Amino acid sequence: MALFGTDGVRGLANGPLTAELALTLAQATAVVLGQGRTAEARRAAGKRLTAVVARDPRVSGEFLSAAVSAGLAASGVDVLDAGVIPTPAAAYLIGSIDADFGVMVSASHNPAPDNGIKIFARGGRKLPDIVEQRIEAAMSRPKLQPTGADVGRIRRFADAEDRYVVHLLQSLPHRLDGIHVVLDCAHGAAAGVSPEVFRDAGAQVTVIGADPDGININDGVGSTHIDKLALEVVRLGADVGIAHDGDADRCLAVDAAGNIVDGDQIMAILAVAMKERGQLAAGTLVATVMSNLGLHRAMAEQGIHVEQTAVGDRYVLERMNEGGFSLGGEQSGHVIMSKYATTGDGLLTGLHLLARMAETGQPLSSLASVMTVYPQVLVNVTGVDRTQVGHPLVAAAVVEAETKLGATGRVLLRASGTEQLVRVMVEAADADIASQIAGRLADVVREHLALSA
């Protein structure tokens, strides 16, 4: 079974994800990412390899980041320990100081017992599959073992947070004066920096979910539990709410009435704003196949092309890099603005969303109305052979459903990448019709793809 998943190495901390694994993974990373012409040129010039290491506030991050730092230093890599900062902050800092690579210890929106290790290459970019495979293979091979003065040093990255805040503020097209925002920091990595940067940008800020104790991250708060934020926005009469996840690479919002504004709607708002400013490269937005049909229709009306990718922000990033596109993301709230970030950045996204409100003088509800959200029904069909999702009878049922929906909806069947299940997604202008068709397709999948006893 592959060690790397869709977003680094993730698992139960001190279960599969041990200090020993973290140390060995760091040593293998030093071997693989310490190669190449740039690294060799640095060594030839008498410069040492450097890596940024950061974490979210979950308690296991303390021993796991220590193990990662130890593995890197033992391999001759100097470590700049940035402490608790958001994942996008770590990615930005890697590029900002021209570090050779970096490591973020976080399990994002997962509960506190889990943790993960995300590795970024030079420039703060996520690793392609082939490089992850090389690192995994290097874990069972000889490691670098310098001695004496050649071992790495571990130093505190004292101004890490300040550098990131300045970067975010410099990106803004408009200040946020006059906007009252409620921030839900998910008791996570954004708890310190997010309130600071929104206040510095001019907003009136109320904060919830900003008291991390190491075990309460994502617990009933954040982008996966947005109801609490919605209630608080309405109770206070605030203009808008912004919800981060544990490592703050996501952003979801709620309007003044407490209605959720998801990643698709946020992308629609930003795409229109960027097009007006001449900043939307090739007039194109990159989104995954799970993005709502309403996004496609809204963008077509605005003269904006939508490029589709497989599910996962890494695939969005790959397509953005290939095409030189400036905006992309997922319905879940991973939004990537390539001029300012190499990964999804929940703080950057939230700031630019509020900047659009301040610039236009419109409430979020009005801005979000650029897109009509089509009812979307998702059914996870378990106990089936996901490898047979293209079965002829299943394919025929999909064609029949698509014919019935016509231009008013769509159907997507997708095999899970990690479990024996098939995801059936149906969109339609009418929620009842979407539910009926999804139910029928799920029955067909169960009948024809059932696993043998």
Query: Is 249 assigned to a binding site?
Result: yes
Query: Is 108 assigned to a binding site?
Result: yes
Query: Is 7 assigned to a binding site?
Result: no
Residues assigned a catalytic role: 108
On the CB side of 242, CA atoms within 13 Å amount to 33
Query: Is 184 assigned to a binding site?
Result: no
User: Which segments are annotated as binding site?
Assistant: 108, 245, 247, 249
Residues in the annotated binding site for Mg(2+): 108, 245, 247, 249
